[in-house]
Amino acid sequence: MPRRRRPARPGALADLAPLRILTQIGILQVLYYVCAAVLILFTTLVMGNEVKLDLLFSWRSLRGDITIGWMLGLCWMMDSLICVLFLLLFIARSKLVPDFALTIHLVHLIVTSLYTHALPTNLFWWAVQLASAGLMTFLGVWACRWRELKPIAFGGQKAGGQPGTASADGQQDLENATDDGDGFTRGAGRGRGADGAGTYEMVGMAPRGGNG
């Protein structure tokens, strides 16, 4: 007989939908450039330099032998640091962070090459991009794993709480509450559970008689 295929994990098709992935890449890329533009505009105005589009899209401006080049490098690194928050909000899965982080920098390489009509040949530009991609990937994976491993709070009342207080729906919790040893209380006998999820009762079952 043919082997039965394992059912797909719920939400797997939605996570891998091409339209969803393209939308996320587009949003992250726009936010990447918006943050970079704000940082570059602010620092350029503070330094009293001329504001031009080359500072954002031209790799020739990102040089290590001039002051404005180091300023741009610092802006791009701060931009990567800010984009970690966007990865945490829009992606939130640690195993997908490297793909999105590298895609952002790959798209930036394409945009820069199209804007300048040449591939970047400045080593300082490549060093900044590698450091930016590494920083975004490392911190993005760490932040998403921290969120994934964050303890989930389940319903229950701490042992130090006062039994017999009114619950959210206006009913009384079980008065004879006992500690289960883990810091939560549970009902004894018949009454409402510690999570307020209705009443329960242990009912005995009569033994079934045999036919001999």
- Rounded to whole angstroms, the Cα distance separating 155 from 168 reads 12
pLDDT in tens, 25-52: 999 999 999 999 999 999 999 888 888 9
Is the pTM of the predicted complex or chain greater than 0.85? no
Q: How many domains are there within the chain?
A: 1
For residue 100, being part of any structural domain is answered with: yes
Residue whose entry in the numeric block shows the structure tokens 């970690």: 84
Supply the range of the domain harboring residue 87: 18-147
For residue 211, being part of any structural domain is answered with: no
The pLDDT value given to residue 127 = 95
Evaluate if residue 104 carries a pLDDT over 90. yes
Find out whether 210 and 197 touch, Cβ atoms under 8 Å: no
First to last CA, the chain: 44
- Rounded to whole angstroms, the Cα distance separating 91 from 68 reads 33
pLDDT in tens, 107-158: 999 999 999 999 999 999 999 999 999 999 999 999 988 888 877 666 555 4
Residue type, 36: A
Spatial neighbors of 72 by CB under 8 A, at least 6 apart, are: 40, 55, 61, 62
The pLDDT value given to residue 153 = 62
For residue 173, being part of any structural domain is answered with: no
- Rounded to whole angstroms, the Cα distance separating 210 from 212 reads 5
For residue 187, being part of any structural domain is answered with: no
- Rounded to whole angstroms, the Cα distance separating 181 from 59 reads 63
**Torsion from C-alpha of 183, 184, 189, 191, nearest 10 degrees:** 150
Most confident of 52-66, 155-169, 172-186: 52-66
For residue 70, being part of any structural domain is answered with: yes
pLDDT in tens, 44-83: 998 888 889 999 999 998 988 888 999 999 999 999 999 9
Find out whether 128 and 69 touch, Cβ atoms under 8 Å: no
Evaluate if residue 101 carries a pLDDT over 60. yes
